[in-house]
């Protein structure tokens, strides 16, 4: 009998059989997100994932939400050195000074985008002209780690003051936030998301 989450059942193989991972795959990954705060949360979590497995981040997501004030940029932008030190002692998150400091800087950059007009959501979705891109990969080995679009968006984010968001991290964000649909064509979610599920 085929293991769920493997190529045999058509589901994207990266999510394996872990129930938390499967639920994330089945209900969140690749669904277009257009609201500012969830997009900011996804950017932050992807920046923390760099060098780690995504399941590590998923298991700590509630800890991140608590530690980072529900990912409210208005609150996070006011965090100072004492807050960074407090977060470095918080076992509910990944305790990495550079990533924590980048989160504070990224909150400030998100506020600057909001104050200058377009806002974070419009800024991010402009990378795909406002519409999700649907890829048609049949195997996991076809799915790229980064693309010319993620290269360009990573550069734009850096120019806008965001930190710790290289092209690979940005492409993972684009996949998660539904800017691109990278579910395999054999996965039921590929068609469901394409149909607006």
Active site residue 24: yes
Candidates 28, 54, 101, 192; catalytic one: 54
Q: Are 95 and 124 in contact (CB under 8 A)?
A: no
pLDDT tens sequence across 4-56 = 444 446 789 888 889 999 999 999 999 999 999 999 999 999 999 988 999 99
Q: Are 140 and 13 in contact (CB under 8 A)?
A: yes
pLDDT of residue 9: 62
What 8-state DSSP symbol labels residue 3? P
pTM: 0.93
SS3 content of the chain, % helix, strand, coil (to 5): 60, 0, 40
Task: Report the C-alpha dihedral over residues 101, 102, 107, 112, rounded to 10 degrees.
Answer: 120
Active site residue 54: yes
175: nearest Cα among 138, 116, 124: 124
Within the chain, which residues score under 50 in pLDDT? 1-8
Candidates 24, 29, 125, 171; catalytic one: 24
DSSP reduced 3-state for 181? strand
Candidates 21, 46, 125, 171; catalytic one: 46
């Amino acid at each position: 009998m085929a293991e769920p989450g493997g190529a045999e059942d058509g589901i994207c193989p990266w999510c394996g059989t872990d129930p938390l991972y499967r639920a994330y795959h089945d209900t969140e990954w690749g669904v277009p997100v257009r609201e500012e705060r969830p997009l900011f949360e996804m950017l932050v979590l992807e920046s923390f994932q760099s060098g780690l497995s995504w399941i590590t981040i998923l298991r700590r997501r509630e800890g991140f939400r608590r530690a980072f004030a529900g990912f409210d940029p208005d609150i996070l932008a006011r965090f100072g050195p004492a807050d960074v030190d407090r977060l470095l002692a918080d076992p509910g998150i990944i305790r990495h000074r550079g990533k924590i400091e980048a989160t504070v800087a990224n909150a400030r950059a998100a506020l600057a985008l909001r104050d200058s007009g377009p806002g974070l959501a419009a800024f991010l979705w402009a990378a795909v002209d406002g519409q999700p891109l649907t890829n048609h990969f049949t195997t996991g080995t076809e799915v790229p780690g980064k693309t010319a679009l993620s290269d360009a968006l990573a550069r734009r984010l850096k120019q806008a003051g965001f930190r710790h968001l290289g092209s690979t991290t940005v492409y993972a964000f684009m996949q998660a936030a539904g800017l691109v649909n990278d579910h395999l064509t054999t996965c039921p979610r590929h068609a469901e998301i394409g149909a607006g599920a």
